[in-house]
Amino acid sequence: MNICLIGPMHPLRGGIAHYNAQLALELKKRHEIAMISFSRQYPAVLFPGRTQFDPGPPPSGLIAEPLLDSINPVSWLRTGRRIAEIAPDLTVVHWWHPFFGPCLGAAVRVSRRRFGARVIFICHNVVPHEPFPAADSLTRFALATGHAWLVQSETDQRHLELFNLRGPALLAPHPPGQGFGEPIDQEEAKRRLGLTGTILLFFGLIRRYKGLPCLLEAMALVLQQVDCTLLVVGEFYDGKDQCLRLINTLGLASRVRVIDRFIPDDEVSLYFCAADLVVLPYESATQSGIVPIAYAFERPVVVTAVGGLPEAVQDGETGLLVEPRNPTALAAAIIRFFEERLGPAFSRNISQRTRFSWTDLARTLELAANHPATY
């Protein structure tokens, strides 16, 4: 097949760009691949981080055309025409936020009028984590151009059903994290980071819905029984002042290390390999790319039971589930993990579990394109 992928790609940074690259590398084994990315993803005024670009090297063998400008309608028309010129058998569009509804919806409509390829949306979030003006209308405008939609959690599947779209919703879990470097011996990873002892890891771009303040409050309780250090790794998009105040107020300065920057793909393994436990205290979620990365390095997790997170974690086997916004419950789960020495068994279970792979994801898309009636 000739497949066109529409979504962010290096040098743009972030989890969806990484996901797009891993999917392209898998599809490229059997198909002709064309990739269309953004010339401008977010206007500077709407982007809360320091830069939208990844300083690391590009994925080997992948080249994307940076055609789509999120706020320039002329580029939407050009992108639609370019998709039609490629004449794909399948167009795969990444969806994650209603801000991109106009540009993606317009580009796909133009391409479908000129060339009727089958269109499948991969929904990383059907609806946004935080309120956004006219979110439902913008989402419907874009997603209505699809023939099928792939979601990665039952929570997102339920969200998608609310839009009453004509076509199948395919449920496929997030594949395991890959492309983040080779595993490193834990003591060597700690040595490189200047760490010793037991390490908890909070990883990823930091937004309010990810619940870091709750984890900091829990740490004050954890340290009464467990000698450990919390590693907070990721660029703050908001809430930094609140978190720093909590660290000082709770007397955690010597036990919380903050690395406030975006972590390139080739450095990710260092932080996960240093960790004994990965903690996701999210207040809301559809699914998470952090759990698959933790599992790729056989690291157990403690996560809040929100959205699609419980679907990714086998409670008591690969991690522990706790209620959200409850520092006491979160602390109790972390303390239990260490007092009951659950780490080795959880890591063993993670290594032995059957995972939905990138090959499985590619085959799901292939089947949906070739045999739509089966879905």
* pLDDT tens digits, one per residue of 126-144: 999 888 999 999 999 999 9
Per residue in 96-117, pLDDT (tens digit) is 999 999 999 999 999 999 988 8
* Adjacent-strand bridge partners of 149: 121, 169
Rounded to 10 degrees, the C-alpha dihedral 47/48/50/56 comes to -70
- Which of these CATH numbers, 3.40.50.11930, 3.20.20.140, 3.40.50.300, 3.40.50.720, describes 2-175+356-374? 3.40.50.11930
Tell me if 177 sits within 8 A of 312, measured CB to CB.
no
pLDDT tens digit sequence for 234-259: 999 999 999 999 999 999 999 999 99
Q: What digits encode the pLDDT tens for the residues 55-76?
A: 878 888 899 999 999 999 999 9
Percent of all residues in the chain with a pLDDT value above 90, rounded to a whole number: 85
Chain center to CA of 22: 13
Model confidence at 371, pLDDT cuts 50, 70, 90, reads: low
Query: Residue ranges per domain, the chain?
Result: 2-175+356-374, 186-352
Taking only the tens place, the pLDDT of each residue in 191-212 is: 999 999 999 999 999 999 999 9
CATH 3.40.50.2000 for the 186-352 domain, yes or no: yes
H-type helices in 262-357, by residue range? 268-274, 290-296, 309-312, 327-339, 343-352
- Pairing, β 301-304 against β 277-280: parallel
Residue pair 24/62 in contact (Cβ under 8 Å)? The answer is yes
User: Among candidates 211, 240, 163, which has minimal Cα distance to 326?
Assistant: 211
Task: Spell out the residues 6+ positions from residue 307 whose beta carbon is closer than 8 angstroms to its own.
Answer: 153, 155, 282, 284, 285, 286, 287
- Common-topology check for domains 2-175+356-374 and 186-352: yes
What are the pLDDT digits (tens) for 301-351? 999 999 989 999 999 999 999 999 999 999 999 999 999 999 999 999 999
> What is the rounded average pLDDT of the residues 280-301?
93
Residue indicated by tokens 């998709």: 83
Please report, for residues 76, 162, 301, the alpha-carbon distance to residue 105 in angstroms, rounded to integers and kept in the order given. 9, 18, 37
Residue 288 to residue 307: CA distance in whole angstroms: 10
